[in-house]
Structure 1
Amino acid sequence: MVRSSLSRVASPTDSISIPQVQSRAFEADASRNQDENGTNGVDEDEKARIERLGRERPPKFKSLTAEICFCYSLLASMITVEYFVSGFSVLLPTIVERLDIPQASQVWPSSAFSLVTAAFLLPFGRLGDMYGGYPMYLGGLAWFCVWSLIAGFSHNQLMFDFCRALQGLGCAAFLPAGVMLMGAIYRPGPRKNLVFSLYGAAAPLGFFIGVFFAGLTGQYLRFGWYFWIGAILVLSTILAAFWTVPNDAEERKALGLKMDWMGSILIVSGLVLVVYAITDSSHAPQGWRTPYIYITLIVGSLLLMGAVYVEGWVATAPLLPPTLFDIPYIKPLFLSLFLSYGVFGVFLLYGTFYMQDIMGGSPLQLVAWFAPMGLGGCIIAITGGYVLHLLSGTVLLIISAFGWIITSLLFALAPTGANYWAYVFPAMIGATVGIDISYNVANVFITTSLLTSQQGLAGALLNSLLFLGIAFVLSFADVTHFETAHLGLKESYQAVFWYQLAVQLAALAIMIAFVRIRKAESDLTADEKLARGKEMAEDLESPKG
């Protein structure tokens, strides 16, 4: 099988590449199957063999129990992320009050986490490809646990924002590592679809757990308990991962990948400065004319332009290899996902503010109001594992876009004293359709399209789109809120929802016009396709006998 043969790769200078190893493993499986069935005169054709391999348990796991434990550890990591990202929005108004955070700075506890995570995902994704998903995964979880614990002791805004930013650093390490481990172990097919759908289902489950404990601590306990409970959840994930996640460190080191330090520095610093300028512009003394705002924006933009030059023409091992953008439809897909994920971030923050400030919901009421989003997300994500190979990815993405459009319209049009069942409940269903379907489609498509040596990049890209989308789109939502504050609080919030609708309509237009993703059926891996293409080219070039 594919992954069991990777241990044969001793160094980057070996004459046998990973694609060739995977191709030979595929052919060896075919020979074994023919030997086993040859006595009965039954030969398995390639299509049937691919379908069978796409449904079988990966050889990395000696038993179904080992596979289940591995999946649990990965799902638990996603639960903890959503606990601290989505559930945190419900607790934010309480933290704002307890720490006396001014209105101009209320967006930073959320933005600091997303910004740091997004900025460091690509460098950490490369480190995972270089040194293995196992050490990056465990190290990131340990760091995340420590700063989650410390955050609960925060006594002022500066300490709290600092802890949230350092939480994001741990998240940037273990998120791409987790996706890398799943993407490298599972080959294209229904089994991979199911595992990634379960991974997606962990997000709404973590969301609801986060919302529940946020409501509980916000109403009855000190807010620090929210972070201490979260730290316990992370610790349980570390213990599960230590015993169940396969150690791929030696295999990854054998690939001989190098780090692009110059590109990493330029990308990280550029993203931090640009997002900071956009986020803080609406609260600066003179807006965009404030010197530190336009200076950081200009410097950040120059750094990002420098990163483009380095990645395209200088780096020998760029973080974003040019071949990445040769994948059909990948560029418009990235842009549409960037916008849709940003809509998710806007809804979480401003939807929470709207339900609390305008509808008068208490923290525990918000738990109940958000419940359909958590439960519906679990149902949709798990069901998706059984339909990804039946419906095209483009159709599923369009369905998810309409989910966000419905959600945006319901909140934008909600009258004073709006009924929960008429407006909020269907909006929650639309939100879970919007985020969970698109997240699953993107995970399966991108991990399937990239080589084994690029699975860390796959994990980094998937999560970069999510967190960068949230950071950028939420920044402009904050600007919209500030610029329309004179209309009144309710009207200002609804202006944000109209902005949210416009962003999602742009994403939908891109999906319809430029994105074509086929069904996620059983198939050769990217490595096997590359090896087969090289073999065919060599056959064509070799002289005929």
Structure 2
Amino acid sequence: MSPKGEGDSHTTMLEHGKDAVSLWRTIGIIVSCTLAMVANTASNSAVAISLPTMEQDLHIPQAALQWVVSANPLSSGCLLLLFGRLADLYGKKKAFLIGSLWFLVFSLGCAFSQNPVTLDILRGFQGLGNAATIPAALGTLAHSFPPGRSRALAFATFSAGAPLGGGAGLVLGGLLTELTSQAWRAPFYLSCGITALSMFGAMLSFNRDQPSSEEDRRVDWIGAFLVTAGLVLIVFVLGQGEVAPEQWSTPYIIACLIVGIILVILFLVWQYHLERVQDAAARTRDYPSSGSRYASLSHLALRWIPTPPPIMKMSLWTRAHGGVAVVFCVAFLNWCCFQGWIYWVVLYYQNYVGYSALRCVVRLLPMIFTGLACNAFIALFVNHIPMTILVACGTALTACAALLFALINPNAVYWAFGFPSAIIAVVGADFVFACGTMYVAKKCLPHEQSVGGAVFQTMTQLGTALGVTVSTVVFDRVLESREADNGFNVDNSTASTEPQWLTFPAYKAAMWTCFAFGMCACFLTIIFLRVGVIGHGDATPAEVPEDVEEQKNSDK
């Protein structure tokens, strides 16, 4: 054989070796990101299935029980934007590894909690790890896979981590709670193990972080403070309003609500201002003779006031003629419905019907198989079915899952109401998450991928907190009304202390609330969302500068 032939053979072997490495690296990226999502959702679902056991062991009042669920999404939702921005600036791999380590440490701390206050605080710190990990994972997937079938498969697999983690949390969490001496503490060890695997995979497979392509790499700390403080105060009020001394008329509740709303409004105004300043400065630099009025005004602002790039560009919400904003709102409403459904189904089965955690798990098992089937469906058909149809059908089915429990007959067999509800409840969550994250990734610039994912995840996390909170308020109000009508004056520290016939209408009212959230998401999709097939291989980031350019021209 000639030397040339030997060289060609050697080159071919090297190429095959590179392909094999690339394949394993691709698998490692997808698996690591998916495990992060599994750990995130498993932690929350395991807590949900363990709530009655925690309630008895730590003597948690019914009105305060939702804080165990809400503390994690509250802290996570309030800091996702900041951590998404930091991931885009300083490296998605660094953010992913640091967030995973943080989540692991505080998950371990939750397992050793001895009172409700400590558990709530540690759950809040646990959420900071999610706030760093999930945007970094979304940004990594968007950066690693170009638009097309590979990206659809990656995002669908990542989205499958939600039902897989939710199912693993329910099943394994229920088994561990029921059969181990550690009871509700054992599921936190499970989260630590899954997170450790995710970290190990990320260290081996994630590409080395590349410097940000942005010229201005400053961080908007003013905006970070405004949005974090504002959202913390608002969600604190929503959760604490029911247990405050004078409930919603308590002075500090009213004050915190007003201050929180003002801070969020100031954040939005500040982000709009920063974006206008940055755009005006760029136009002045590129076109010195443009004579932009805002550029002249921004000169003083740039000189006397720190004006870094905004954490969240307000123009992101207006892209695709407002389609991105609709997707964010649909995700928020759908999660209000879905997470509220999970919260009240668990309490209904365990506190009202009297099932053990294990028997409750068995009745929720269909969610796992439906969730995996939904994400497989997305991976196969997202290139062929318009996103509007997928999201509208998904949100309607999730709403109907809540409707079944709002109409449930407690004497009916499980197959009449419980089984079909468990089958369809997860469809909306999977369809909205998979399609929504792909759609947002297409509309974001390369240096905005983590931030775009962070905004989407913020809406789902806030939806989780608000859905549970509002439905809890409805539950308590209906229960109080029933007590007053029937002359009861009992301690309602736990729902299980009430007579069953008294609490049943309150459970149904909470489910009606979840149904309303789900139908609002469905109607919003049908009326305002006009999105076709999103899985095609034609990259659309070029559409983003066009939208931004239109905004710039309108400012001249």
Query: When the two structures are superposed, what TM-score results if normalisation uses the length of structure 2?
Result: 0.82
1:267 and 2:267 aligned: no
Q: Cα RMSD between the aligned structures?
A: 2.1
Deviations 1:381-426 (A, max 9, x none): 1221111111000000111012112201110011122311111110
Q: Letter of the aligned partner of 2:348 in structure 1?
A: Y
In structure 2, the residue matched to 1:53 is: none
The structural deviation recorded for 1:130 is 0.5
The structural deviation recorded for 1:285 is 2.2
> Do 1:403 and 1:430's aligned partners in 2 also have CA atoms closer than 8 Å?
yes
1:304 and 2:264 aligned: yes
Q: Give matches, 1:471-482, under 5 Å.
A: 471-482=465-476
1:234 and 2:195 aligned: yes
> Do 1:130 and 1:255's aligned partners in 2 also have CA atoms closer than 8 Å?
no
> Do 1:149 and 1:227's aligned partners in 2 also have CA atoms closer than 8 Å?
yes
1:503 and 2:517 aligned: yes
Q: Letter of the aligned partner of 1:306 in structure 2?
A: L
Using the alignment, how far apart are the partners of 1:334 and 1:530 within structure 2?
A: 17
The structural deviation recorded for 1:316 is 4.0
Deviations 1:327-363 (A, max 9, x none): 1212222222211111111011111101112222211
Identical amino acids, percent of aligned pairs:
28
In structure 2, the residue matched to 1:16 is: none
- Work out the number of aligned pairs and report it: 477
Q: Which 10-residue stretch deviates more, 330-339 or 88-97?
A: 330-339
Using the alignment, how far apart are the partners of 2:215 and 2:69 within structure 1?
A: 37
2:383 match: secondary structure: coil
Using the alignment, how far apart are the partners of 2:33 and 2:193 within structure 1?
A: 16
The answer for unaligned runs of 5 or more in structure 1 is 1-58, 536-545
Q: Give matches, 1:126-525, under 5 Å.
A: 126-221=85-180, 222=182, 223-248=184-209, 250-252=210-212, 256-314=216-274, 315-328=307-320, 329-486=323-480, 487=482, 488-525=502-539
In structure 2, the residue matched to 1:4 is: none
The structural deviation recorded for 1:461 is 1.3
The structural deviation recorded for 1:253 is 6.8
Using the alignment, how far apart are the partners of 1:210 and 1:405 within structure 2?
A: 23
Using the alignment, how far apart are the partners of 1:108 and 1:60 within structure 2?
A: 48
Deviations 1:37-69 (A, max 9, x none): xxxxxxxxxxxxxxxxxxxxxx99952122112
Using the alignment, how far apart are the partners of 2:101 and 2:130 within structure 1?
A: 10
Using the alignment, how far apart are the partners of 2:318 and 2:548 within structure 1?
A: 17
Q: Letter of the aligned partner of 2:222 in structure 1?
A: M
> Do 1:260 and 1:317's aligned partners in 2 also have CA atoms closer than 8 Å?
yes
Deviations 1:498-535 (A, max 9, x none): 11111212221111111111102324434455689999
Query: When the two structures are superposed, what TM-score results if normalisation uses the length of structure 1?
Result: 0.84
When residues 233 and 255 of structure 1 are mapped into structure 2, their CA distance, relative to the original with a 3 A threshold, is farther
> Do 2:333 and 2:517's aligned partners in 1 also have CA atoms closer than 8 Å?
yes
The structural deviation recorded for 1:370 is 1.2
When residues 200 and 467 of structure 1 are mapped into structure 2, their CA distance, relative to the original with a 3 A threshold, is same
Q: Letter of the aligned partner of 2:503 in structure 1?
A: L
The structural deviation recorded for 1:171 is 0.6
> Do 2:100 and 2:199's aligned partners in 1 also have CA atoms closer than 8 Å?
yes
Using the alignment, how far apart are the partners of 1:387 and 1:351 within structure 2?
A: 31
The structural deviation recorded for 1:375 is 1.4
> Do 1:60 and 1:185's aligned partners in 2 also have CA atoms closer than 8 Å?
no
Q: Which 10-residue stretch deviates more, 177-186 or 212-221?
A: 212-221
2:527 match: secondary structure: helix
Deviations 1:435-454 (A, max 9, x none): 11111110110011111110
The structural deviation recorded for 1:323 is 2.5
When residues 140 and 287 of structure 1 are mapped into structure 2, their CA distance, relative to the original with a 3 A threshold, is same
When residues 161 and 531 of structure 1 are mapped into structure 2, their CA distance, relative to the original with a 3 A threshold, is closer
Q: Letter of the aligned partner of 2:144 in structure 1?
A: I
In structure 2, the residue matched to 1:115 is: 74
> Do 1:393 and 1:517's aligned partners in 2 also have CA atoms closer than 8 Å?
yes
Using the alignment, how far apart are the partners of 2:478 and 2:546 within structure 1?
A: 58
Using the alignment, how far apart are the partners of 1:479 and 1:362 within structure 2?
A: 26
Using the alignment, how far apart are the partners of 2:195 and 2:537 within structure 1?
A: 35
In structure 2, the residue matched to 1:81 is: 40
When residues 530 and 98 of structure 1 are mapped into structure 2, their CA distance, relative to the original with a 3 A threshold, is closer
1:247 match: secondary structure: coil
Using the alignment, how far apart are the partners of 1:505 and 1:83 within structure 2?
A: 26
